Amino acid sequence: MEVVIVPDAKAGGELIAEAMAALLRRKPDALLGVATGSTPLPVYEALSAKVRSGAVDASRARVCQLDEYVGLPADHPESYRSVVLREVVEPLGLTEASFMGPDGTAEDVQAACEEYDRALPAAGGVDLQLLGIGTDGHIGFNEPCSSLASRTRIKTLTEQTRVDNARFFDGDIDQVPHHVITQGIGTILEARHLVLLATGEGKADAVAASVEGPVSALVPASALQLHPHATVVADEAAASKLKLADYFRATYAAKPAWQGL
């Protein structure tokens, strides 16, 4: 696992956007796994700016969802399909044909989970999966004690996650669904490159536990330690509880430019 400490969220967004741009230059039809929430917005803003300036051509890129609420209509403004279309697909100049995600409105939710889990490898696999991290260490909606071998499935959200997400529903927790479809940890680990972005002091404990603690289902993001190409990008606040912060800074400063992120 590589840990990169950046000054702030904007710098982290630019760094990851450039890694995505470099991937698209090598592989124009790369499949990008995207996360939702406020943390990844600087990434999408920086990448769309590169597309507008002509620094990268994203016209053949493909985008896939990490998770989706169960029961929200696909056109609900806070369904993750709507969010990804609004924040990623449209700014990159893509069409819905380039987008894939699980069906949170399916009558048979379990079948929809299994179908999406098969669709990802059938599409060639995820080339780069962007992840956020919850205050409890969750990735996707794999809450603490999720199996590290889990596949795409339905999950019940913890009360804390629903409280955290209420800000997207006018602060009303009663509007936040109780269930989601999420890629499992085992599914996530099949992506070729995992990039986790963490910003803010509120994520500091989770980052420290994930990077420096033991691999444990209690901290789902710690599973990134098992991946051959995992990168954690944390701003100074989110990295504030890392015991090896100086080591991480030194190794990244000495990294050859040709290696990229």
> What are the residue numbers of the active site?
67, 136, 138, 143
152 vs 186: CA distance, rounded Å:
8
195 vs 16: CA distance, rounded Å:
8
Tell me the three state secondary structure of residue 212. helix
Tell me the three state secondary structure of residue 234. strand
* Angle between helix 41-53 and helix 9-26 axes, rounded to 10 deg: 50
Q: At a CB cut-off of 8 Å and minimum separation 6, what does 20 contact?
A: 32, 43, 47, 128
85 vs 90: CA distance, rounded Å:
6
Q: At a CB cut-off of 8 Å and minimum separation 6, what does 32 contact?
A: 20, 23, 61, 62, 63, 64, 126, 127, 128, 130
